[in-house]
Amino acid sequence: MLGPRRGAGPLLEVRELSVVFSGRSEETVIAVDGVSFTVEPGQTVGLVGESGCGKSVTGLAIAGLLSARGNRVGGQVVFAGRDLLALRAKERRDLRGREIGMIFQDPFAALNPVLPIGLQVAEVLQRHRGCDRRGSMRSARELLDSVGIADPDRRLREYPHQMSGGMRQRALIAMALAGQPKLLIADEPTTALDVTVQAQILDLLRRVVEQTGTALLVITHDLGVVAGLCDEVHVLYAGKLVESAERHRLFATPRHPYTHGLLGAVPRLDSPRGQPLSQIRGSIADAPGWAQGCAFAPRCDRVVDACLTGTPPLSTGAGQALRCNNPMPVEVPG
Amino acid sequence: MTDQSTVESPVVPEPQPAQPLVELRELTVHFPVRAGLLLGRTVGLLRAVDGVSLSIPRGTSYGLVGESGCGKSTLARGLLRLVEPTSGEILFDGTDLRQLNNEAMRRMRRRMQLVFQDQLSTMDSRQNVESLLTEGLRAHGLGNGAVAVSARLRDTLNAVGLPAGVLRRYPHELSGGQRQRVGLARALVLQPDLIVADEPVSALDVSIQAQVLNLLAELQRTLQLTQLVISHDLAVVRHIADVVGVMYLGVLVEEAYSDELAATPLHPYTRALLSAVPVPDPTVEDRRERILLSGDLPSSTDPPSGCRFHTRCPWVRPTRCADERPELRELRPGHRVACHWAQELAVSTTQVSGRGGGGWIC
């Protein structure tokens, strides 16, 4: 139904997405504040930021998984030519799981504890691919096999608690792939896993993108994961995009002081030891919001007067975007 | 950038093996695995820590790294006798802790303090920070004299970079980074000789993590603390520890000065671990080869025979790896490895890369 659109422009175009949470009290929280970006077919795009920056809410809003009560979602999420936010609930349900797959951080919470893994994968196949019971179990077995689960016949009958964390994440990826989606949204897919298992899962995700041609939106706090996985990276701070660039460019010449600070704050195996890490003072809790100026200003060393009077505009050009009045100078490499 | 220009790069004191503050000799911690509803028959033994020997020289920082279930946290708890070790010796400043009675042990604990990962869960939500900090002092009979106590609190808060105003605050009013600082202050206020930090930064955001790591490094330098830092994150451990030990399934598989460990890992597991740590640099990420381990961690109730890593090791060789448990032996000065073939793997790096994908470009 969405076939003709393939290859003609971006697969996903998020335009001025905003999410406002309003609780019972009068207080409202602007979780996502006018975020725009695109994902091309087959492209891997990263959304990075620290807790509370709005990266996960952006993912949930795109997938249509925010409950309507108390939340206001504004802007447009154009997926293969259609605005997802304007769809009716039933149309969204048909799309989700088939066209858009999702992988969550905690696979144990995302899987049904009282159903065997096989049934859970088969359910997606029956719902979205029109398989019958027997056919869906056969396909489920193939899917588990393809995501590197050894002995899939036995695993089909096992329950989530009988599997290790890495195995559960593989099962979840199998479920997300069952609908043959054009877009996979992975929210912190490896955060709950051990380092060596994380390497396995990242390797699997790379292969999935390569072999199925699906686009991948990775939401993570881990700059190392982004560096090895994504084509393009968007950095979020307090609900707004502050910098976007192709990954080599972003890591080599970060222009926003926040991006620059984040990169310097990560302890690295190849950095000189005994030197203090560069740190960003304060915490994201100090962010005053964007109404009275740049939300990063209280933590920034490069503040100029303009930062305190109004929201810095997002300047875009040549595959990158930057929201800063006084960006880091472009260093000559070497 | 908030460069801490006041902090000069810390001079790492060369560890003096002559006078360790902590020395573990063949420490084991086993837990019985029970089955059955009422009687609880013991059906097996979980070997959480299975014969670990290591020493931490005074004034240095020892990093313990490993994946979940490797026994690193149990080792720390065994060291402090928060779980009772099954066998082995724990020498703390020359005293065998396992010989102490409860009261002597309780008094000894002032000198060894634990800092946790999730501070919120270790704090009573109805206690304010002042009460949290003075509780330890009172327990050890140091809470007398309001003036002296308040001076001590002020100094401690100063050391961890908190304003005096937090004394009136409750745990839920603090940010994650502040809570971690309070946790550190709670340990430091007793002026301990040893700080055991179990995953001190894993719950924190990157920018806050850097603040706490810098603080730990600075405290070690200024207060001459001895630290045991436990983490799953090799990059974190390497950054603050002088010596790093790598654990796998309850045993120490490798130990070396942290720079040496990162540059020339000798144990296959350490190599796999190093190659798996994501580096925030696309050029490095594109170039490096990864050693992907197959399968999951075996269970510590039924650990593999011989070398515990042989079931997942890319360099496993027939019979000896499965038959004989490799001893931890010193291959270079200060570099101990428990692998039968470490020497050969060390010299034949090129061959190794050809066989299993060696390159740990970092």
ipTM, two decimals: 0.83
- Cα-based distances in Å from A110 to A106, A117, A136, A203, B59: 6, 12, 20, 21, 46
pLDDT tens digit string along B209-264? 999 999 999 998 899 999 999 999 999 999 899 999 999 999 999 999 999 999 89
Instruction: Determine how many CB atoms are found less than 10 A away from the CB of residue A186.
Output: 28
Question: B20-241 has which CATH code?
Answer: 3.40.50.300
B348: confidence class by pLDDT, cuts 50, 70, 90: low
Q: What would the mean pLDDT of B301-305 be, rounded to a whole number? A: 90
Cross-chain residue pair B205–A51, CB shorter than 8 Å: yes
Cross-chain residue pair B292–A247, CB shorter than 8 Å: no
Q: Which of A50, A202, A222 sits opposite B207 (nearest CB)?
A: A50
pLDDT of residue A35: 95
Location of structure tokens 């045993």 = B251
Residues of B in contact with A264 (CB under 8 A): 1, 210
Cross-chain residue pair A277–B213, CB shorter than 8 Å: yes
Q: Is the pLDDT of residue B5 over 80?
A: no
Q: Are strands B87-92 and B20-35 parallel, antiparallel or unpaired?
A: antiparallel
Q: Which of A194, A251, A267 sits opposite B235 (nearest CB)?
A: A267
State how far the Cα of A121 lies from the Cα of A112, in Å rounded to an integer: 11
pLDDT tens digit string along A116-144? 999 999 999 999 988 898 999 999 999 99
pLDDT of residue B13: 52
Residues of B in contact with A248 (CB under 8 A): 282-283
Residues of chain A with pLDDT under 50: 1-6, 334
pLDDT of residue B208: 87
pLDDT of residue B205: 87
pLDDT of residue A37: 96
Looking at the DSSP bridge assignments, the partners of residue B198 are: B230
Q: How far is B22 from chain A (nearest CA, A)?
A: 23
Location of structure tokens 């991948």 = A216
pLDDT tens digit string along B103-130? 999 999 999 999 988 888 889 999 999 9
Contact (Cβ atoms closer than 8 angstroms) between residue A325 and residue A257: no
Nearest of B67, B71, B69 to residue B83 by alpha carbon: B71
B361: confidence class by pLDDT, cuts 50, 70, 90: very low
Identify the three-state secondary structure at position A87: coil
B14: confidence class by pLDDT, cuts 50, 70, 90: low
Cross-chain residue pair A167–B296, CB shorter than 8 Å: yes
The arrangement of strands across the sheet holding A315-317 comes to A100-103, A183-187, A215-220, A44-48, A232-237, A240-246, A320-322, A315-317
State how far the Cα of B177 lies from the Cα of B228, in Å rounded to an integer: 20
Looking at the DSSP bridge assignments, the partners of residue B56 are: B22
Mean pLDDT in chain A? 89
Nearest of B262, B253, B254 to residue B233 by alpha carbon: B262
Mean pLDDT in chain B? 86
Contact (Cβ atoms closer than 8 angstroms) between residue B190 and residue B137: yes
Question: What are the residue ranges spanned by the domains of chain B?
Answer: 20-241, 263-356
